[in-house]
Structure 1
Amino acid sequence: MFGLIRKTKSGTAKLMALLLLMLSAMTAGLHAQPSRDRLILKDGSYQLITRYELKGDRVRYFSAERSQWEELPTSLVDWEATEKWNRAHDPDAAKLTQKPGSQNEQENGPPNPDAAEAAKLDAEEAASRSDEIARMPLVSPGLHLPDETGVWIMDTYQDQPELVHALQTNGDLDRTHDHSVVRAQIGATGGAKELIRIEGAYAPVQLHVNDPVIYVSLDQPGDDEAPDNAMTVDTHGASTAMRDKNAHSSPDSDYVLIRLTSNHNLRTATAAEIYRMTTPGHTEEIIEMKKELMPGARWMKLTPATPLLIGEYALMERLSPREINLDVWSFGVNPRAKENKDARSAIETP
């Protein structure tokens, strides 16, 4: 093609202009790749998109599922897999979408019906895949949270990550749910009354690390909320509590860890100890938890604000600044304990 251009001053100028135009297009492609219909992540999941653009160390994309702009770090994207999949499944994807700010799709002509049908099937598949990922997110290489409810804790035994199931309990309650609610209001004064009484000097679950990660399953969208007429009691001298008829797990809840007193065949916490969670600073007996809502809003991730000491603990749900759930999840921290029964390990992939 270049040989057809006459080597005159005018021809040379045209040649240089053409080369500069091509170079400019190539350079623009390096900074803002044409949009594809899948953005594949390194954990094997993917986002269904209509377009994307790079902004520093983040990629900004328009979600075809949620119809809104979202962002994530570029380091999470498997660019090679993204390019390979998009070229194999939709080589004309670049013609269907454009970088935001450019001229609209009218310049690209009418949409391809076959591509539209393929996009529809991809959207259905992506929706199913997204729901599966939300229900069973990857929390460690080869290790997913189970498609179950309740509280699961990430432990490490002999250098191997494991998930263990912590059961909810408080004394003699007839537990029929993985997340039941026994509401109690934090009284104006503490007391010696033991509000938490759990049989056994040690919890069945014993962790081997002092920085566990705790995952709490959440109610699915549309689930019935806990009854508003649940009975509440003052923690000072409280003697009765009525458990909600239905299980209830809310993303609005906060959580704290309370270090239990282990005497004889009981693990206990008094009203006075629980009341300390309302005071600034707390003590080493009460550990605040950092919470993070995981993508899909099906799980909440909790991490202790400070390392845990060896001992027995209860994960307590704080329903509001003045209201708690007395039905707790107990575990211990003992690096020399045996491996937890029924712990779930990572699945090796070939």
Structure 2
Amino acid sequence: MEWMLVVGTTGNSTTMRMNRATIGLTVGFFVCAAATAMAQATSGARIFRGSVGGSNFQMRLNTQGTNVSGTYSYDTVGEEIKLTGQLDAQGKLDLAEFDAKGKQTGKFACKQFYAVEPDCMWSRPDGTREAYATITEQHIGFANGLQIVPKTIANRRSGVKVSYPQLAAAGGALSAGAISFNRRVLALTQKAIKDFVPGSEAGKNALERNYNVLIANDDLISVEMTEYQYSGGAHPNDDFDSLTYDLSANKELGLDDLFKPGSDYKTAIAKYVVADIEKRAVAMEESDAKSEGRKPVKREDPIVTEDQLSEISSWGLTPKGLVVYFDFAHAIAVFDRTVIPYNVVSEYLKPNSPATRIYKH
């Protein structure tokens, strides 16, 4: 079971743009399962990455019936913070956090936890200092002692706050593939920092990067680095880098490594992307109309056609499908990212490609 929490308040070396306020919709492949399924989940820990007010953290949660417990720690601090809470049958999740002395220091609250865009927030115990946050499940399945640890780079003057993933071996040496993956991730991170040009107004700039492990096992790792950037102007940008690496073959994978030579997989992807964007756009309009007390407005033209799609800018692998990115204009950048179920492209996949192995697992 996969689940994602977006907490908010009212108040590829290739980059993608994405509206932070709509992040819950655009990462549809992390959409929460129904609350009743969560309530019936067996005990077991799940790992999450997230951010509160630009501070990145890693979280581990256990569920036993409706009880939820665990810990989380901020990347720049490392101290474990205890979590306990409840998830009820209506999808309401409440988590309280406690410091080492047992004093409550904050709380997470979420209504309709299983919804596409949960109504959630983090705050102090008394409800003050509400802040946006995200919590996204990490799909990690190492059996050989590998671990993924967060590393950080920060520069308060320029507004840089970056977390990036590095592989570590529990009590042993890293393989050549793991070492190469670490170097490549670091290079992508350093390039993003180098390319960031702060604006002239001091204290108004931000480059915040975090990461999500889309899938990781002994042979393969696919990660996504998320980026929030602001250096003046009308609006900030939310961007992505992605990296998929064959650890056993010590090779960074390209999209063509997944598909049969000469196959028309791009057409299959394009058809699905266009239809999925239209479906999501209709759902967004219906939701907005309902909240605003009006009738939905029907568009005469689609958001985008197959002919208007640019080349795929980047991609990743998840347990459920292939993630593809397009570099749309800012007005429709919420649709930059789409997950293609493996069965949509299965006939085009190479018999023993990483995507095929995930699909048939």
Structure 1 or 2, whichever has the larger Rg, is 1
TM-score bucket of the superposed structures, by smaller chain: under 0.3
TM-score, with length taken from structure 2: 0.22
TM-score by length of 1: 0.22
